[in-house]
Amino acid sequence: MTKIGILVGSLRKESFSEKIATNVAALFPEGYETEFVEIGNLPFYNQDFDDKDNVLTEYTSFRNTIKEFDAILFVTPEYNRSVPAVLSNALDIGSRPYGANIWSGKPAAIISQSPGNLGGFGANHHLRQILIALNMPLVQQPEAYISNVVALLDENGKVKNEGTVEFLQSFVYTFVDLIKKYQA
């Protein structure tokens, strides 16, 4: 069984990112298990905890959880043309201390979303830069920018546009192909 961790860059109760992630999680084929990873409980990264060998239990638990996954799917909104702080913090915790990067070599895919027309373009590209620095092989094409997300979801949070569902399915298949490449 291949395990996919899903990190959502929004903590909001009715998060559009979480709704999109839930829709996408259901599109993975048999043999792939998805699991949402909680990042809202993580204290801001402070290197002093690692340097003084006083690592917070939240850091250790998160790092151990991420190590269990074969690949990571990031679904995020855009905040001020970049990645939300909660997601950046999780990436920092997982990449530290120096030489102990838990992200390295894990295949990754990014979906950004926005109620506006740009689909989280800035967040998507900033996140790509970070993941490259963390040595995560990424789905390059298709790029997934979900714009006008409010109009795409029904009252139950399901994607109601068949063309969008088909696009997300092709995105998942491309991600699965990337994962297989790195499992070989």
The residue ranges of every structural domain in the chain are: 2-183
Q: Which fold has domain 2-183?
A: Rossmann fold (3.40.50)
For residue 15 the two structure tokens come to: 């998060």
Residue 38 burial (CB count, 10 A): 14
CA–CA separation, 94 and 146 (whole Å):
27
pTM of the model as a whole: 0.97
Q: How confident is the model at residue 52 (pLDDT cuts 50, 70, 90)?
A: confident
Q: What is the pLDDT, as a whole number, of residue 142?
A: 96
d(CA 148, CA 145): 10
Q: Where are the alpha helices (DSSP H) in the chain?
A: 16-25, 47-51, 57-67, 85-95, 121-133, 149-152, 162-183
Predicted local distance difference test score (pLDDT) of residue 118: 86
Specify the higher pLDDT residue, 84 or 118. Answer: 84
Alpha-carbon span 60 to 85, nearest angstrom: 20
Cβ contact 116:147 at 8 Å: yes
Residue 119: per-residue pLDDT: 86
Using only C-alpha atoms, what is the Rg of the chain? 16
Length of the chain equals 184
Task: State the average pLDDT over residues 67-82.
Answer: 96
User: Whose CA is closest to 140, among 149, 157, 128?
Assistant: 128
Rounded (to 5) percent helix, strand, coil in the chain: 40, 15, 40
Contact 60, 3 (CB under 8 A): no
* Sole residue written with tokens 């909104």: 77
